[in-house]
Amino acid sequence: MWPCVIRVWPPPRDSEQRAGALEFWPNHRPERQLNNWPNDWPERTMRIALVTDAWAPQVNGVVRTLTAVTGELRRRGHEVEIVSPDLYRSLPCPTYPEIRLALAGRRAVGRRLDAFAPEAVHIATEGPLGWAARGWCLDRGRSFTTAYHTQFPDYLARRTHLPASLFWPYIRRFHGPSAGIMVATETIRAQLRAHGLTRLRPWSRGVDMANFGPDIGPPDLFLALPRPIQLSVGRVAVEKNIEAFLANTHPGSKVVVGDGPSLAQFRRDFPETLFLGQQTGRALAACYAAADVFVFPSRTDTFGLVMIEALACGTPVAAYPVAGPLDVLTPRSGCMAERLEDAIAGALTLSRADCLAHGRSFSWEASTDQFLAALEPETPAPPSPAARAATA
């Protein structure tokens, strides 16, 4: 038993805080407590509100990350309340109908948060629900954390043909009051620091090792394809730069897995490419494992979850030398070049065993540890019966 756990939560983030906390800590193996933090600090379960404009049935890296971490949090005994668009009336996002924009303001979101009485509030996205939860927290003087999952200035610049600098004030305003902005890579952290956002906390990503691996038979459609098979997985949209992959001239076959607003156009423009649409679970893993090289053409991702899924299946990665690949890949697991053809040629020379080892170094357990360490929990007032009844 740990009779004083609640008095040292959250786990102290630096040596000075750790030393001060030890007066509350049972006096067992103090050298281990100091040297191996945070692994030796027991975890207190919490009520965590996770507010996100990206949730099922959307299929993307943000949703997969939040789903995986939420599952791990609940497995550990934490109570997680998901505030997502499916709880409210919504409208399709212009030019992106599969993304729903919730018609819920601060009052509607606040009622749900009041009823749940979270100890920690995490706002995952900068959409309508994110702004509503942000307002609720600011109204009550509550600390909250945010995450920078998506390079919105670059995405919007590609869609509107306006400079990305026009959209950075929106990002600074949204994240400015956050007690901690969770960021997946050092390259993106440096970018945010350059824009005046400095309260940054690391939050990497993981791979479901039970689902992704090298020992999965290939899809039947792959059997007759000329080698090498070049695979790209992701949302088929202009901001993902899929056209650069489709237009590359390296010999072999090209396969695209994913759905999105540009899919119909690309099917017409690149009839020699095999478009498989959305794939999940073992079907997706089979595509990764059967490919000779995974091509990641995006220049605007903050991490690139699909890269480590490919690596976990033993498939080397070809990419541009930009944020995401620069942070995730090593010389033994991927090749980066300004010409995709050169990156593909280099990746095809790499050892699949080395790629597999690197992919297996990412876990959702470690990602969840980072998420918990980055939260800013408080002890909330208990919810009133009226607040609970309002969302029953």
| pLDDT of amino acid 155 | 83
Each domain of the chain, given as residue ranges in start order, spans 45-206+367-390, 220-362
| pLDDT of amino acid 227 | 98
> What is the signed CA dihedral for 325, 328, 330, 335, rounded to 10 degrees?
-20
| pLDDT of amino acid 23 | 34
Residue 236 CB partners (closer than 8 Å, separation 6+): 242, 256, 258, 259, 260, 261, 262, 263, 266, 275
Q: What percent of the chain has pLDDT over 90?
A: 79
pLDDT digits (tens, 9 = 90+) for 52-70: 999 999 889 999 999 999 9
Q: Which residues of 97-129 are buried (b: 16+ CB within 10 A; e: fewer)?
A: eebbbbebebebbbbbbbbbbbbbbbbbbbbbb
Topology agreement, domain 45-206+367-390 and domain 220-362? yes
| pLDDT of amino acid 244 | 98
pLDDT digits (tens, 9 = 90+) for 279-336: 999 999 999 999 999 999 999 999 999 999 999 999 999 999 999 999 999 999 999 9
| pLDDT of amino acid 387 | 56
Residue 317 CB partners (closer than 8 Å, separation 6+): 293, 294, 295, 296, 307, 310, 311, 325, 329, 333, 334, 335, 347, 355
| pLDDT of amino acid 268 | 98
DSSP strand E in the chain: where? 47-51, 79-83, 90-93, 96-102, 120-123, 145-147, 180-183, 200-202, 229-233, 253-257, 274-277, 293-296, 317-319, 334-336
pLDDT digits (tens, 9 = 90+) for 107-163: 999 999 999 999 999 999 999 999 999 999 999 999 999 999 989 899 888 888 899
Position of tokens 């997706």?
284
Instruction: Give the length of the chain.
Output: 392
Q: How do beta strands 90-93 and 96-102 pair? A: antiparallel
Residue 377 CB partners (closer than 8 Å, separation 6+): 9, 10, 46, 119, 120
Give the mean pLDDT of the chain. 88
Q: 221 φ, ψ to 5°?
A: -65, -20
Nearest CA-CA partner of 365 in 193, 210, 171: 210
| pLDDT of amino acid 366 | 98
Which CATH superfamily, name and number, covers 220-362?
Glycogen Phosphorylase B; (3.40.50.2000)
Tokens describing residue 154: 């670059």
**Region 365-380: what's the mean pLDDT?**
94
Q: Which carries the bigger pLDDT value, residue 37 or residue 358? A: 358
| pLDDT of amino acid 99 | 80
Give the predicted TM-score (pTM) of the model: 0.85
The CATH fold assigned to 45-206+367-390 is: Rossmann fold (3.40.50)
pLDDT band at 389 (very low <50, low <70, confident <90, very high): low
pLDDT band at 29 (very low <50, low <70, confident <90, very high): very low
pLDDT digits (tens, 9 = 90+) for 178-197: 999 999 999 999 999 999 99
